[in-house]
Amino acid sequence: ALNVTPADQVLVETVVVDDDGGSKPGNSIDWNELGNAYPRNGAYDDAIHAYKQSIRLNPRYGSPYSNLGFVYFHKGEYQIAVSLYKKSLQLLESAEDKATCWNRLGDTYRRMRDYNNAMKAYEKAGNADPVTTPLLARARVALMSNAAD
């Protein structure tokens, strides 16, 4: 089971609420898609704003939490990324989206040198969507096993 701590929840709420809002797209899916365009250009702050807007409009939509975690991962703010990925995993519905999020969580734990949790996350990724992720997940688990030897 996923261990979502009260600290994770507080961190997610703090990160999501600290923005002034603004206006542009009218729904959470559009804000999420807008957020997806920014990291490719290194515009992390703009991406963060867009994902927060998406979450504000629909707090039960899991994708922007995962995407926001991805941005914080790239900014080196790993604990924030972990908390956002955990929140996303509670909300995501498709196996493919969950597998992607589990892989991102594994990458984050690995960057934090928490190899035990990284391995667990990669294994969950493979189990979440055995059709599209088994090769990648198995490769990561094998690499983690080799690193542990």
Q: Answer whether 55's CB lies under 8 Å from 32's CB.
A: no
* pLDDT at site 40: 83
**Which tokens hold the place of 93?**
């519905």
For 137, residues 6+ apart whose C-beta sits below 8 A from its C-beta are 99, 103, 122, 123, 125, 126
Mean of per-residue pLDDT scores for the chain? 83
DSSP 3-state assignment of 43? coil
The pLDDT of 124-133, averaged and rounded, is 74
CA neighbours within 13 Å on the CB side: how many for 13? 6
**Token match 């515009």: residue?**
43
Cα–Cα distance measured from residue 81 to residue 127, given in angstroms and rounded to the nearest whole number:
22
Q: Which of the given ranges, 6-10, 32-36, 74-78, 121-125, has the highest pLDDT on average? A: 74-78
- The pTM (predicted TM-score) of the whole model is 0.77
More confident of the two residues 89 and 136: 89
Two tokens, residue 75: 């900014």
For 11-15, 72-76, 108-112, 132-136, which range has the lowest pLDDT when averaged over its residues? 132-136
DSSP 41: G
Give Cβ neighbours of residue 30 (< 8 Å, ≥ 6 apart).
Answer: 54
Report the pLDDT value the prediction gives residue 94, as an integer from 0 to 100: 93
Q: Evaluate whether 98 touches 133 at the Cβ level (below 8 Å).
A: no
Q: What is the pLDDT of residues 81-122, one digit of tens each?
A: 999 999 999 999 999 999 999 999 999 999 999 999 999 999
CA distance 88 to 67: 9
Q: Which of 22, 15, 26 is nearest to 48 (CA)?
A: 15
DSSP 17: H
